[in-house]
Amino acid sequence: MEETAVVANIRVVNLASIVSGDIIECDKLLLACREDGFFYLDYTGQEAVDCQSSLELIKEFYNQDLHTKMRYWRGRDKPGYKPLGIDPGILKDDLIARSDVLPPQVLDHSELFERFVLMAHEVGLDIMKSLSRSLKLEGFARFEEKNRTPESSKSAMEYLKYAKQSMCDQNIGHKAHTTVVHKQAEPS
């Protein structure tokens, strides 16, 4: 019996159009955020190349035996490899410091991963700027003004590889998590 997956109709937002300030695309982004809470981001060029290259390198790492991958295990709440069921992630600060918790697939191509992390950060800023424009926010109220780039960061680039599961399994999905939004007081 062949299994078929239910496909969701998710809005697609074009990054180049957002960056150029295209009003229609910016409105589509705002609508996706308001109505759906998420969207697919359509991007091409170097961003797409870097994304695909980083994925190929991470696949190379994940395809190794567990014993090899466990050399990068530093504990549940520390950066590095996490076995199935534990939160994974490459911390921005570890990437910049060329930490030994990172596997050679990342360290040997650190320029690619640094470029990709920077690009992802810029994409996030572009999305925040677009939403700020669409909502007509000014000054410190603008979303991108809340960003603290120079400070140390626990932001992580996560590459997730899940164990194969049947599509009929009711427990398929992203790891359990809660998104918490903290509102900082306006400066006086």
26: which residues sit within 8 A by CB, 6+ positions away?
A: 17, 18, 130, 133, 134
* pLDDT surpasses 80 at 74: no
Q: Supply the mean pLDDT for the chain.
A: 77
For the stretch 115-127, pLDDT in tens is 888 888 888 899 9
Phi, psi angles (nearest 5°) of residue 102: -95, 140
Compute the chain's Rg from CA coordinates: 19
52 is a domain residue: yes
Q: Name the pLDDT band for 4 (thresholds 50, 70, 90).
A: confident
Residue 181: predicted pLDDT: 38
* pLDDT surpasses 70 at 130: yes
111: containing domain: 45-123+150-157
Token duo for residue 43: 């991007």
60 is a domain residue: yes
Total domain count for the chain?
Answer: 1
pTM of this structure? 0.65
* pLDDT surpasses 50 at 186: no
3 is a domain residue: no
More confident residue, 170 or 32: 32
Query: Span 33-56, mean pLDDT?
Result: 86
Residue 177: predicted pLDDT: 45
User: Is there a contact between 159 and 147 (Cβ–Cβ < 8 Å)?
Assistant: no
112 is a domain residue: yes
More confident residue, 61 or 86: 61
Percent of the chain past pLDDT 90, that is, above it, reads 24
Percent of the chain past pLDDT 70, that is, above it, reads 66
Q: Name the pLDDT band for 57 (thresholds 50, 70, 90).
A: confident
Token duo for residue 140: 């410190």
Residue 13: predicted pLDDT: 93
Residue 185: predicted pLDDT: 40
176 is a domain residue: no
76 is a domain residue: yes
